[in-house]
Amino acid sequence: MAKTVLVTGASAGIGKATAILLAQNGYNVYGAARRTEKTHDLSSYGIKPIALDVTSEESIVNCVKQITNEAGTIDILVNNAGFGSSGAVEDLSIDDARYQLDVNLFGAMRLTQLVLPQMRANKWGKIVNISSIGGKVAFPLAGWYHASKFALEALSDSLRMEVNQFGIDVIVIEPGGIKSEWADISNEKMTAVSGHTAYKDMVASTQKATTNLALPEPIVIAKLIKEGIEAKRPKTRYVGGYGAKPILFLRKILPDTLFQKVILSQTKG
């Protein structure tokens, strides 16, 4: 029987590309999103749209319950829902910071908690957490986003060691730059939060450095996700997208102070 997959954040970008690719390859796919009006076209690919707000316990529970009632189980969970709440640490409100963690971290982990019992019973399952190179490398003006992704990486590693005994794999995907609405939303937030503060010059330089980049399409990451869930012994991490491998390589070989100079050279006002 076809494996049942729940892909969160399926209304656009990586989530949408992943849902379509998996459906085209015989998976039984549920595409979840808060903005359900943007998921209507998924039905033409055989994907079942489903409402999900990852910041709402009721919504999370109802989503998992509906899928298990209809399909019997969730075999693969792709925790993709997320966004970047940009702005200087000094400027971004703690309420915004909490919401960033609610979406990018706690929502993903709550879904994971709910799907694990059935995966353990089946002695098979895949948890795919969409992190970022920003889960390994921190840039200025995105501190709380990085905090959410660093934490997601740590929890993924702990979880992997806990559930391996039950035949469950935990896979981390670390995209670099990808063509999507994510960057535009992040830059708009950065401007609103810090574009008129002491950090305004850094904001302007950062936006200049990240404008008009030749970013690859989300299908690049969707293919990595498919590779990971179909591997008999998947890697713990898969990396792809604009600048991902070079940036992670530099982070690995350079001391902190030198790497920081490299980053700041791109963001000086």
Is the pLDDT score of 101 beyond 90? yes
Q: Which residue has the higher pLDDT, 210 or 90?
A: 90
Tokens 């979406």 map to which residue?
103
pLDDT band at 97 (very low <50, low <70, confident <90, very high): very high
Q: Calculate mean pLDDT across residues 63-84.
A: 96
Taking the C-alpha atoms of residue 264 and residue 269, their distance in angstroms, rounded to an integer, is: 10
Question: Which pLDDT does position 168 carry in this prediction?
Answer: 98
Q: Which of 85, 86, 131, 180 is labelled catalytic? A: 131
- Token pair 């003006």 in the structure block, residue: 141
* Confidence check: pLDDT of 243 > 80: yes
- Percent of the chain whose pLDDT exceeds 70: 99
Question: Is the pLDDT reported for residue 148 higher than 70?
Answer: yes
Predicted confidence at residue 21, as pLDDT, reads 98
The one catalytic residue in 11, 132, 148, 186 is 11
Q: Are 23 and 44 in contact (CB under 8 A)?
A: no
Query: pLDDT band for position 104 (50/70/90)?
Result: very high
Half-sphere exposure of 231 (CA within 13 A, CB side): 16
Residue keyed to tokens 């008999």: 232
Q: Is the pLDDT of residue 108 over 70?
A: yes
Q: Is the pLDDT of residue 203 over 80?
A: yes
26 to each of 80, 119, 125, how far by Cα in Å? 20, 20, 17
Task: Give me the CATH code for the 4-264 domain, please.
Answer: 3.40.50.720
**What's the whole-number mean pLDDT along residues 51-68?**
98
- Considering 3, 126, 136, 145, which one is annotated as catalytic? 145
Question: Is the pLDDT at 269 greater than 80, yes or no?
Answer: no
pLDDT at 182 over 80: no
pLDDT band of 123, cuts 50, 70, 90: very high
Span of 40-44, 57-61, 67-71, 165-169 with lowest mean pLDDT: 40-44
Residue 60 near residue 52, CB atoms below 8 Å = yes
pLDDT at 268: 65
Catalytic residue among 149, 180, 186, 205: 149
29, pLDDT greater than 80: yes
Q: Select the highest-mean-pLDDT range: 25-39, 152-166, 206-220.
A: 152-166
**pLDDT cut 90: percent of the chain above it:** 86
Known active-site residue 30: no
Evaluate if residue 188 carries a pLDDT over 90: no
SS3 for 207-245 is HHHCCCCCCCCCHHHHHHHHHHHHCCCCCCEEEECECHH
Known active-site residue 131: yes
